[in-house]
Chains A and B, each alone.
Chain A
Amino acid sequence: MARTYTRPVVLEDAVTHYCPGCGHGIAHRLIAEAIDELGIAERTIGMAPVGCAVIAYDYFNIDMSEAPHGRTPAVATGIKRARPDCVVFSYQGDGDLAAIGTAEIIHAANRGENICVFFVNNAVYGMTGGQMAPTTPVAAKTTTSPYGRNPENEGFPIKVAELLANFDRVAYSTRVALSSPRNVRAAARAVKRAFLTQIERRGFSIVEMLSPCPTYWHMAPENALKHIDESFIKVFPLGVYKDWDK
């Protein structure tokens, strides 16, 4: 009997530390599947962020580096400039990319560094216990916005995919959701397209993935996914905001 789906080769045998139903697991799997499909494992270098995915290097069988919080796009720049034939990807959460790392992501995008950025947006700081994130929606309660996010004090959530699409040397900027089979399949296509954008040397690509955090949204995994489809998506519309082909 032939197999139609097997565990991605480049995913390590390790059981991940992520919570049941965590979007990181889906995102890791999609990236691993794309690396397998494109046959690039031997020349891919990945970055682990600071956040729940801080030990992502234990889950992919490729060269990987740590980076200080938010600095992944700068470290990825240093790696890609030194090894232009390698496929370099940055993997970041919402604190890493949209809070402490805002300067680094904007300037890597502006320079059009030929890297892929996978941005896992779950609107909360998971690693540190559920604090507010730059992408937390208005009125959402977190441990540092106990009365609900108030735009007058905290500003509105930041829309990264739209923001980065404004830069001329961003070749591909899209937002997907890890919330249903249809949406995850679209996310898989986006991840592959991002890698191809780099391989074909077209410039900077970013895939923003709306992702569930069942633990800090205080929802069962299936309800967290419903929450993305029914509520979160209205704040962060899905779509392709920049494409080198259009």
Chain B
Amino acid sequence: MPRIIIDDKYCKGCRLCVVFCPKGAIAMSPRLSARGVNPAEVVNEDACSACLNCVVMCPDAAIEILADEPEKVKR
């Protein structure tokens, strides 16, 4: 099961990861980050298929994905 790590330091709350996640694994958080935006947060990590759409779209490289079997995953 892949792990999704979103770094508040970089996230500007643009929502692109949420819009393009096909599994609903990410949503915008109601809390405010230190930047003063609602950052993206992981809401259903089990659903993540490591499709990497989120990292492909993130303008701030705020997301990292850890997968169990990396050789099976294509970017």
Which of A181, A188, A221 lies in contact with B14, CB distance below 8 A? A221
Tier of interface size on chain A: 20 to 34
Grouping DSSP codes into helix (H, G, I), strand (E, B) and loop, the A interface class, with mixed when no group exceeds half, is mixed
- Asked if A11 is at the interface of the complex by the 8 Å CB criterion, the answer is yes
* Cα–Cα, bound, A23→B14 (Å): 11
CB-CB under 8 A from B75, the residues of chain A are 4-5, 185, 188
Contact between chains at B60 and A4 (CB < 8 Å):
no
Whether A20 pairs with B37 at a CB distance below 8 angstroms is: yes
Query: Taking the complex as formed, is A82 at the interface, i.e. its CB lies under 8 A from any CB of chain B?
Result: no
Q: Identify which of residues 7-62 in chain B touch chain A, using a CB-to-CB cut-off of 8 Å.
A: 9-10, 12-16, 19-20, 37, 50-53, 55-61
- Which residues from chain B contact A185 at a C-beta distance below 8 Å? 56, 75
Q: Does A8 contact B (CB under 8 A)?
A: yes
Which of B10, B12, B51, B66 has a CB less than 8 Å from the CB of A3? B66
Decide: B56 and A181 in contact? CB cutoff 8 A: yes
B-binding residues in A (CB < 8 A): 1-8, 11, 15-16, 18-26, 29, 32, 180-181, 184-185, 188, 214, 220-222, 225
Listed in ascending order, the chain B residues whose CB lies under 8 Å from chain A are 2-3, 9-10, 12-16, 19-20, 37, 50-53, 55-61, 63-70, 73, 75
